[in-house]
Amino acid sequence: MHRLPSFPSPITTPTGARGRTISALICAVAVGTATACTPSQGAVAPASADAGTSRATPGAGGTANTAGTTGAPGIGDPDFPSDGNGGYDVQHYGLRLSYDPSTRKLAGSATIRAKAVQDLTSFDLDLHGLTVSRVTVDGAAASFSRSRDELVIEPARRVSDGDAFEVTVDYSGVPEPMRDSANLGRYGFISTPDGAFVTCEPNGAKTWFPSNDHPSDKATYDFQITVPEGLTAIANGEMDGTPQTKAGKTTFVWREKHPMASYLATMTTGKFQVRTGTSGKGLPIYAAVADSFRGSLDKLFAETGKITDYWSSVFGPYPFSSTGGVIDDYAAGYALENQTKPIYGGFSPEPAIIAHELAHQWFGDSVSIARWRDLWLNEGFATYAEWLWAEHTGRYTAESAFQRYYANAADPMWAYPPGTARADDLFSAAVYNRGAMTLHALRREIGDQKFFPLIRAWTDAHRYGNVTTREFIALAERVSGKNLKELFDAWLFQPKRPAPVT
């Protein structure tokens, strides 16, 4: 027996995002805009985001000045034109940070190793607020200026195309979270009474470190975070050594050695109860909960290990070196799939939510989008994972979830084609639920014998890379041997409910 799922699914999106209805006015605009609805437009990436299978070409699109020597102020995402930057490709962020909750002051020194993809007499980093005191490029003082959320850097010597270079930025101030962009409320670095809750999707990394703040430029990270003694600082990857305490301050060192999108980075700090260990399959687990969630620590630890292990049998090998989860007491009401450690904002997550955030480790974190309009490749997959988890645990089938959504002809998601996520309504319920339905329609069409190998081929072919929707459609056609253009067109790109799946 399968119980029907309780809809809408529990909170994993910023408050209201999942349940919000799209206004008639916005729908009319979407329907009336031919480019938003045709499959060719929707599925074809701009040159900047579709070049190669592993990553976008930074700076090649939009506002890039590829002929000159000025790095573009945006990486070329058509819907977020000033996000990220052009002209270089970051390899590594070394972040030295110190945070004092009593003054809410952050002091940072970011060392960024990058490679130029054009000659550069100047280039940008993204940084929101904060005061920059010094910038060096390859050790030499550089001049810099601020313009909105761009830190414009002029190195003393021109950087040549192809050169590796190193930028150090010293900065400090009281971080200000982002507000209202993409209908999200507050996100980024959010101070709390005892620390900070740091969840940055889509472009809030710049609220706490200078970055190429776009998922198409992934990099490895080291974090050295100093907080008042008694607090815990949590970042991505694994802890290096034991925290060192000196003069009332404790320094935590974390390293993420796999490529990571900037929005997945965190430095969540506060009073935490921590449990570490390994999953059944031997993967290290780091679980932490704010004191008020003390009673949820063991459950978070156990479910995280169990679900990570299960997904590795469904989606392919776990892509990172540890798994985990953090429950902070900041009542965000949503969770974010921070790499290696999803963060749950003020609630004890039920298994379906843990299953969603851990599925993102494959879909979003390891296999990352190159432009935000392809967000269904993250959220549709993670939502479908909730259905697969329900199916695995016998609560309900993916088919029953699909049918229940399909039955509601008045659902506003039919007016919102999820293959083109909209900048002003990025985390729409359509991207989540109609995105998940797209995968179920595909599974019905090609059968489990092709569907699950396709999913594993997808995570394998694009591990640690960047993708577009067009690449998923191509792989689905290759693995299944079927022409699937009509199916994907109807489910992803048409502003109306597709014909029933037979």
- Where on the chain is the footprint of ligand TRP (CB under 6 A)? 12-14, 184, 187, 199, 201, 334-337, 356-357, 379, 427
Nearer to ligand TRP, 14 or 58 (CB): 14
Q: Which residue has the tokens 């059944």?
A: 280
Q: Which does 215 bind (CB under 5 to 8 A by kind): ligand TRP, Zn ion, none?
A: none
Burial class (CB in 10 A: 0-12, 13-18, 19+), 475: middle
- Given ligand TRP, Zn ion, none, residue 203, with its beta carbon under 5 to 8 Å by kind, binds none
- 88 or 189, CB closer to ligand TRP? 189
Q: What is the residue whose two structure tokens read 């169990």?
A: 306
Residue 184 binding result from Zn ion, ligand TRP, none, given CB thresholds of 5 to 8 Å by partner type:
ligand TRP
Q: Which is nearer to Zn ion, 150 or 379 (CB)?
A: 379
Q: How far is the CB of 359 from Zn ion (least distance, A)?
A: 8
Q: Which is nearer to ligand TRP, 217 or 328 (CB)?
A: 328
The dihedral through the CA atoms of 73, 201, 54, 468 has a sign that is negative
Report, in Å, the least distance between residue 175 CB and Zn ion: 24
Residues 350-379 that bind Zn ion (CB under 5 A): 379
Q: How far is the CB of 337 from ligand TRP (least distance, A)?
A: 6
Rg (CA), the chain: 22
Residue matched to tokens 């609220």:
207
Angstrom distance (rounded) from CA 268 to CA 188:
11
Distance CA 129, CA 235 (A): 22
The C-alpha angle with vertex 345 and arms to 344 and 349, in degrees rounded to 5, equals 45
Q: What are phi and psi of 244, to 5 degrees?
A: -105, 130
Contacted by 290, from ligand TRP, Zn ion, none: CB < 5 to 8 Å by type: none
Provide the terminal-to-terminal Cα distance of the chain, rounded to the nearest Å. Answer: 23
How far apart CA 423 and CA 409 sit, in angstroms, is 25
- Strands in 58-156 per DSSP E: 88-100, 105-116, 123-126, 131-137, 140-141, 143-147, 150-154
Residue placing its CB nearer to ligand TRP in the complex, 217 or 379: 379
**Coil vs helix vs strand at 56:** coil
Yes or no: say if 46 and 204 are a contact pair by the CB < 8 Å rule: no
**Beta carbon of residue 364, minimum distance to Zn ion (angstroms, whole number):** 7
Q: Please identify, using beta-carbon distances, which residue of 80 and 334 lies nearer to ligand TRP.
A: 334
Distance in Å, CB of 357 to Zn ion, minimum: 7
Could you give the strand order of the β-sheet that contains 195-199, starting from the edge strand earlier in sequence? 178-179, 186-192, 195-199, 268-270, 232-234
Distance CA 114, CA 460 (A): 26
Q: Which two tokens stand for residue 444?
A: 């019905």
Structure tokens at 126: 């993204």
431 binds Zn ion, rule: CB under 5 A: no
Partner from ligand TRP, Zn ion, none binding residue 112, C-beta < 5-8 Å depending on class? none
Name beta bridge partners: 224.
96, 253
Nearer to Zn ion by Cβ, of 112 and 382: the residue is 382
Task: Find the shortest distance in angstroms from Cβ 429 to Zn ion.
Answer: 12
Longest dimension (CA), the chain: 70
382 touching Zn ion, by CB under 5 A: yes
What is the per-residue DSSP string for 424-477? TBTT-HIIIIIHHHHHHHHHHHH-HHHHHHHHHHHHHHTTTSEE-HHHHHHHHH
Question: Can you tell me which residue has the tokens 């156990």?
Answer: 302
Picked from ligand TRP, Zn ion, none, the partner binding residue 211 (CB below 5 to 8 A depending on kind) is: none
* Residue 75 touching Zn ion (CB under 5 A): no
122 binds, among ligand TRP, Zn ion, none (CB under 5 to 8 A by kind): none
Closer to ligand TRP at the Cβ: 229 or 424?
Answer: 424
Of the pair 205, 336, the CB lying nearest ligand TRP is at: 336
Residue 187 contact, options Zn ion, ligand TRP, none, Cβ 5-8 Å cut-off depending on partner type: ligand TRP
CB of 382 to ligand TRP, least distance (A): 6
Question: What is the smallest separation between the CB atom of 330 and ligand TRP, expressed in angstroms?
Answer: 11
Alpha helices in 283-329 (DSSP H): 297-314
As measured in angstroms, the least distance from the Cβ of 379 to ligand TRP is: 6
**Residue 320, binding choice from Zn ion, ligand TRP, none, Cβ under 5 to 8 Å by partner class:** none
Nearer to Zn ion, 369 or 382 (CB): 382
Query: What residue 125 binds from ligand TRP, Zn ion, none (CB within 5 to 8 A, per partner kind)?
Result: none
Closest CB to ligand TRP among residues 188, 305: 188
Cross-strand bridge partners of residue 97: 108, 225
The DSSP code for 325 is: E
| Six token digits for residue 369 | 């989008």
427 binds, among Zn ion, ligand TRP, none (CB under 5 to 8 A by kind): ligand TRP
Smallest separation (angstroms) from ligand TRP to the CB of 342: 8
Instruction: Find the shortest distance in angstroms from Cβ 199 to ligand TRP.
Output: 4
What does the binding site for Zn ion look like in residue numbers (CB under 5 A)?
379, 382
